[in-house]
Amino acid sequence: MSLQPAPNSDPSGPEGPSLILPREKLLDIYYYLLLTRTVENKVAYICQSQNPQQPLIIGKGYLSTGQEAISVGAAMTLEEKDWLAPSHRDMGAHLVRGITLRQVFSQYFCRITSPTRGRDGNVHFGDTSKRILSFVSHMASWLPVANGVAAAMQYRGEKNVVLTFFGDGASSQGVVHESLNYAAVFKLPVVFVINNNQFAISTPLHEQSAVENLALRAVGYGIPGKTIDGNQVLEVYASVKQAVDRARRGEGPSLIECKTLRMSGHGTHDPATYIPKDLLQAWKKKDPIVSFRTYLEDKNLIAKSEESHIQERIQREVEEAVEWARAQPTPTPEDLPTWL
Amino acid sequence: MGEGATDPDSGGSADMAVMTYGEAIRDGLRTAMREDERVYLFGEDVAEYGGVYGVTKGLVDEFGKRRVKNTPLSELAIIGEATGAAIAGLRPIAEIQFSDFITSGFSSLVDYAAPYFFRMGTHVPMVIRAPFGGGLRIGPFHSKCPEAWFFHVPGIKIVTPSTPYDAKGLLQAAIDDDDPVIYFEHKKLYYELKDEVPAERYTVPIGKAAVRRGGRHVTVVTYGAMVHLAMKAAEELAAEGIEIEVVDLRTLVPLDEETMLSSFRKTNRVIILHEAPRRGGVGAELESIIVEKAFDHLAAPPVRIAAKMMPVPFSPQLEDFYLPSKQDVIDAARRLVQY
Amino acid sequence: MLIALTMPQFGESITRARIVHWLKKEGDAVKEGEPLVEMETEKSVFSYESPFSGKLGKILEPDDVEAEVGREIAQFEVSDVDGKKYLSLGVGKVVEQSAASAGAPVGATRRAATAVPFGIAPTPSTTIPQPSTSPSSGTKLSPLIRSLAKEKGLAIAEAEKIPGTGPDGRVTKDDFEKYVARRGGVTPPLQTSTVPPTRQGVTIVNVPAIRGRIADNMALSKRTIPHAGCSVDVDLKLIETWRSGREKAPSYVVFAIVAVLRALKNHPLINSAWKEGPEPNAKRWIESYDYVNMGIAVATEQGLMVPVMKNADKLSFPEILKALERLVDGSRKGTLKVDELTGATITVNNTGAVGAVRTQQIVPPGQGSIIAFNRVVKRVWVSAGDKVDIRPIMGLDIAFDHRIIDGDHAGRFLMDVAKNLENFDFSQILTYA
């Protein structure tokens, strides 16, 4: 258990032997990374260009641009019966765990076909049938609930785990402390991933916390904590896999801090001029998708034709979902007796 | 604080046992856990210690620590576990040691659990036991009746049993219910009340009030420990020929309006009585309902009797001043029958 | 202080009355209870007794004038103590001592004083009670009393005058129920109409108040009550025998009344009324009374009057006889109080007096049955053992509200009355000489 990792670790695995993944899995990872980026680009595009009088997307878009490796890499470690408790920048994890594009755009368009029947918008959703707890606006409010799901697994003697995410801003909430402590005491099978993208709306990390590496707090709970490069998807995968395996063995929770930078505004409405330009430039060079593609190409793990094939497929799928969702009905008061 | 209570005295009739209110709750927990593997309970000091009033004493011996679990001191985490476990298919019963501390977990209940079904279509069948009420000389942080805060939140059911029979029956009903239920048990009644309670599983329906005493002249709508205050006042008033009808709501959400209204249509005079402080209490809603829905039956202005708008005082004299009294009810009834 | 006497409301639904003749003149001292003025209403002509003790001041409405309920008709000078009492009871109004009205002619005062109308507007359908601004009434009726008043067909103005025993003189439910029990049912308001112009070969007969009232009641009854009826012939041989040889024997009618009262004990639905609200799908129920206020139809010069024998079921034979005499006499003389003209729960009709042997009757609105005692006529009769005889036979007719009971019930009731008459128990006429 290392508390002071180097900033740019070897993507093939930070500890011990390198992580070997089958090529299909690597291509899956690539697919989900690119899918997440494409979906969010589409959301941003619609938000910017739609008619405000007759908007298609209700409200703003909340993007994970530049942070896709964190949720994709982590979610790819899960098995079928594991649960996900996402935050608001975990579109990648949603997609990996089976949320369809039609559901995503229905949710953004507030149509009755969304996971919340149009009653909630943008990323405020989950899907019990896919073992995904809903994100709720109160930061980290899902952590104790993730604990509850893990407690149920423990209660039933199941060997499943819960993967949950929260941000640097959320980490200041008391509920985080209470949840980490609670999970540690009961050795709940939860993996806590901090997406430290260094900004909570406009609040930079050093105004959020007196400690730069948030995973340091793990010591206080007696659980393993690790800070890694969140833009290296395989590093994320390897570290989270380790924690997931630990939890599945019944050894309890872990805290993994993924360092990254938020490459978008807080929402599509936010120009984020408070992010220093040089910081943006530095992290732009570390784009997780570009770096993973480069890695795959260098290791001859992907052919150019496969790349274009994946790209076309993603374009097609996204277009289809947008068109489909656009045609779906909006909820009316008559729908209200359902789920009330 | 409370010492451990003895096992229910089986000095009752065949399938009944005489139990205190607190024992009835324990028996309800026991019965539910024996019947359904998904039911388990947790909270602070509930296992070997048996809860600060002894309500859960002995349960850990029968069911083990997996099903009777002590937790760290965190209402957020406790309520969160109840929420998550319920979403994942169990029937958790969380105990908040004193309802006053529910504020520490308020967000978990009100922001996450309460709107979940409306937003996601997934039921959250959790029960939160929250001992409430004063009169025990334990001051402002252990005596509150905070039901009004939750009365105002869509998605939460609230029950307030006032007798041992109802305590067990409503608890089972709350466990069976697919929605979040706050079960406000009145701590002063734990040892004060004793009654015959069936040994087997039974339910008292959520959302149904009970007329505890019939009367022609004034309707008293109340719940919790105040039911007994009203009944004592009724005895005294009967001696002077004034008959009050005591309606015990038993459930606050969903509210049984019809029982209250049909009693009122008969008597045309109403006293709304609750232990929680007056302003914005549940009584304000009850009074509005009566005026809105039975205006033509009003012979006199409705009367609300509630605690004063101040924190619950510690000193006995001040606490007695703070709480509604039997004399308040008697005076109000005497005034009302003039109309 | 100076207070005004306003035209009282002499009965439910009465909206106006005619001042026939002032019995006192301006400046006279008047004591409470002294006859003050002769009044005529749709129901009767009678002497109105002064509610005040004091000096009769200005007479504001002279003889032979019709005034609506609430109009100021005279002024009285009364002591301050008395004045306070009268005002708190709701009798009379303070006279505004403004410069404009002081010294103004009678005509001006008539317009200025009473701005707020009391009672029901004279329309056939909806009655919209107007709020009163008089100091001792109006705002103190609880919603309960208002809705009960509406249910019972009482005008708000009348409900406001019910003596209240609640806080601040409010009307309690008890006060209301006692008041209504004394009054009984309701009749709708009078409809005034213009007289048509004369045409050749046609004589126009004016419709005086009482005629108009009868017309309205009969029409209402026939419109709203589904009538049915039946008859029974009664052999009065037994009673005839008892009567013969007795001077001043009670008439057959008294016996018939007694027989009816006795039969009603076993047939409470005959002494009942059908009630329902005016709106479609309104609540409806049957009110069955455990007391009998028997209306006695009496023909007078002014027309049909129906004085009411209150609590007749509790009276003895001699008391019934006396009450009957008083009511008939009082009707003909016009001396009956309003209280004695209202509140009937059932009516009997001595149609025999005019020679009828069979009658088609109309149930008075607000009641459920009316029984006719037809003329006693000697008929050929087949009695026990197939013997042919001559017997004094009285036909008993009942007309009833078919919503409340069916024909078989009415028939059984008449059979009971017949049985009571044919086997009359003379022991109840104890002290009769």
Average pLDDT over residues C313-334: 90
Contact assessment for residue B140 and residue B99, using Cβ atoms and an 8 Å cutoff: no
User: What is the DSSP secondary structure assignment for residue A102, as one 8-state letter?
Assistant: H
- Rg of chain C on CA atoms, in Å: 25
Cα–Cα distance between C240 and A15 in angstroms, integer? 130
C42 pLDDT higher than 90: no
Percent of chain B with pLDDT over 90: 94
A287 pLDDT higher than 90: yes
Reported confidence tier of residue C338, pLDDT bands at 50, 70, 90? confident
What pLDDT does residue A1 have? 32
Min mean pLDDT across A150-164, B39-53, C177-191, C399-413 is at: C177-191
Is the CB of B298 less than 8 angstroms away from the CB of C143?
yes
Q: Which residue in chain C is spatially nearest to B295 when comparing CA positions?
A: C143
B250 pLDDT higher than 90: yes
Contact assessment for residue A148 and residue B88, using Cβ atoms and an 8 Å cutoff: yes
Predicted-complex ipTM score? 0.85
Cβ pairs A/B, distance under 8 A:
117
* Residue carrying structure tokens 């206020």: C293
Is the CB of B90 less than 8 angstroms away from the CB of A339?
no
What pLDDT does residue C278 have? 72
Between the alpha carbon of residue B183 and those of residues A131, B169, B172, C81, the distances in Å are 29, 12, 11, 64
Average pLDDT over residues A85-114: 97
B142 has catalytic annotation: yes
Segment B59-99, tens digit of pLDDT: 999 999 999 999 999 999 999 999 999 999 999 999 999 99
Is the CB of B76 less than 8 angstroms away from the CB of A179?
yes
Is the CB of B338 less than 8 angstroms away from the CB of C143?
no
What pLDDT does residue C284 have? 87
C419 pLDDT higher than 50: yes
> Residue A190's Cα: distance from chain center in Å?
15
B277 pLDDT higher than 80: yes
Contact assessment for residue A168 and residue A200, using Cβ atoms and an 8 Å cutoff: yes
> Residue C150's Cα: distance from chain center in Å?
20
User: What is the DSSP secondary structure assignment for residue B95, as one 8-state letter?
Assistant: E
Is the CB of A148 less than 8 angstroms away from the CB of B111?
no
C106 pLDDT higher than 70: no
Q: Which residues of A touch B85 (CB under 8 A)?
A: 148-149, 151-152, 155
What pLDDT does residue C196 have? 56
Cα–Cα distance between B280 and C190 in angstroms, integer? 52
Neighbours of chain C (3+ CB pairs under 8 A): B
Question: Does the beta carbon of B151 lie under 8 angstroms from any beta carbon of chain A?
Answer: no
Smallest CA–CA distance, residue C410 to chain B, in Å, is 34
Q: Please, is C385 exposed, middle or buried when counting C-beta atoms within 10 Å of its C-beta (0-12, 13-18, 19+)?
A: exposed
C203 pLDDT higher than 90: no
What pLDDT does residue C33 have? 80
Least CB-CB distance to B112: which of A141, A338, A340? A141
Question: Could you tell me the two tokens for B319?
Answer: 């606490």
Reported confidence tier of residue C333, pLDDT bands at 50, 70, 90? confident
User: Which among A138, A132, A186 has a CA at the least distance from the CA of A164?
Assistant: A132
Is the CB of B112 less than 8 angstroms away from the CB of A119?
no
What pLDDT does residue C49 have? 83
Mean pLDDT in chain A? 92
Segment C21-41, tens digit of pLDDT: 899 999 999 998 888 998 888
A321 pLDDT higher than 50: yes
What pLDDT does residue C113 have? 38
Contact assessment for residue A45 and residue A133, using Cβ atoms and an 8 Å cutoff: no
Question: Could you tell me the two tokens for C312?
Answer: 């007749």
Cα–Cα distance between C217 and C224 in angstroms, integer? 11
Average pLDDT over residues A233-256: 97
List CB contacts of C254: < 8 A, sequence separation 6 or more.
C317, C320, C321, C324
A177 has catalytic annotation: no
Establish whether chain C is in contact with chain A, requiring a minimum of 3 CB pairs below 8 angstroms.
Answer: no
Cα–Cα distance between C160 and C152 in angstroms, integer? 14
Question: Could you tell me the two tokens for A69?
Answer: 């490796």
pTM of the model: 0.64
What pLDDT does residue C41 have? 81
What pLDDT does residue A288 have? 97
What pLDDT does residue C85 have? 73
Q: Which residues of B touch A178 (CB under 8 A)?
A: 72, 74, 76-77
Average pLDDT over residues A191-206: 95
Q: Which residues of B touch A126 (CB under 8 A)?
A: 120
- Three-state SS string across A25-63, please? HHHHHHHHHHHHHHHHHHHHHHHHHCCCCCCCCCCCCCC
Question: Does the beta carbon of C65 lie under 8 angstroms from any beta carbon of chain B?
Answer: no
Reported confidence tier of residue A51, pLDDT bands at 50, 70, 90? confident
Cα–Cα distance between C293 and B89 in angstroms, integer? 72
Min mean pLDDT across A100-114, A227-241, C187-201, C231-245 is at: C187-201
Least CB-CB distance to C166: which of B297, B298, B339? B339
Reported confidence tier of residue C115, pLDDT bands at 50, 70, 90? very low
- Three-class SS of residue B32? helix
Reported confidence tier of residue C192, pLDDT bands at 50, 70, 90? very low
What pLDDT does residue C151 have? 86
Spell out where chain B has E strands: 16-20, 39-43, 68-70, 91-95, 127-129, 157-159, 181-183, 194-198, 210-213, 218-222, 244-248, 251-253, 270-277, 303-307
Top-confidence residue, C261 or C151: C261
List CB contacts of B166: < 8 A, sequence separation 6 or more.
B204, B210, B250
Is the CB of B88 less than 8 angstroms away from the CB of A148?
yes
C114 pLDDT higher than 90: no
User: Which among C150, C174, C147, C144 has a CA at the least distance from the CA of C162?
Assistant: C174
What pLDDT does residue C197 have? 59
Cα–Cα distance between C27 and C54 in angstroms, integer? 10
Question: Does the beta carbon of C288 lie under 8 angstroms from any beta carbon of chain B?
Answer: no
> Residue B116's Cα: distance from chain center in Å?
24
Amino acid identity, position A114 = S
Average pLDDT over residues A174-196: 97
Smallest CA–CA distance, residue B301 to chain C, in Å, is 9
Min mean pLDDT across A40-54, B179-193, C44-58, C355-369 is at: C44-58
Establish whether chain B is in contact with chain A, requiring a minimum of 3 CB pairs below 8 angstroms.
Answer: yes
Tell me the pairing of strands C294-300 and C308-309.
Answer: antiparallel
List CB contacts of C306: < 8 A, sequence separation 6 or more.
C295, C296, C297, C298, C341, C344, C347, C364
Segment B278-333, tens digit of pLDDT: 999 999 999 999 999 999 999 999 999 999 999 999 999 999 999 999 999 999 99
What pLDDT does residue C11 have? 64
Smallest CA–CA distance, residue B123 to chain A, in Å, is 9
Cα–Cα distance between C370 and C362 in angstroms, integer? 7
Reported confidence tier of residue C245, pLDDT bands at 50, 70, 90? confident
Question: Does the beta carbon of B284 lie under 8 angstroms from any beta carbon of chain C?
Answer: no
Question: Does the beta carbon of A65 lie under 8 angstroms from any beta carbon of chain B?
Answer: no
Contact assessment for residue B157 and residue B130, using Cβ atoms and an 8 Å cutoff: no
What pLDDT does residue B42 have? 98
Contact assessment for residue A321 and residue A103, using Cβ atoms and an 8 Å cutoff: no
Q: Which residues of A touch B115 (CB under 8 A)?
A: 136
What pLDDT does residue C12 have? 57
Amino acid identity, position A13 = G
Average pLDDT over residues B129-148: 95
Smallest CA–CA distance, residue C148 to chain B, in Å, is 8
Amino acid identity, position C40 = E
Cα–Cα distance between C337 and C339 in angstroms, integer? 5
Min mean pLDDT across A283-297, B168-182, B203-217, C86-100 is at: C86-100
- Three-class SS of residue A123? coil
Q: Which residues of A touch B92 (CB under 8 A)?
A: 148
Is the CB of C167 less than 8 angstroms away from the CB of B268?
no
What pLDDT does residue B324 have? 97
What pLDDT does residue B13 have? 53
Q: Which residues of B touch A143 (CB under 8 A)?
A: 80
Is the CB of A128 less than 8 angstroms away from the CB of B66?
no
Average pLDDT over residues C301-308: 84
Min mean pLDDT across A187-191, C123-127, C368-372 is at: C123-127
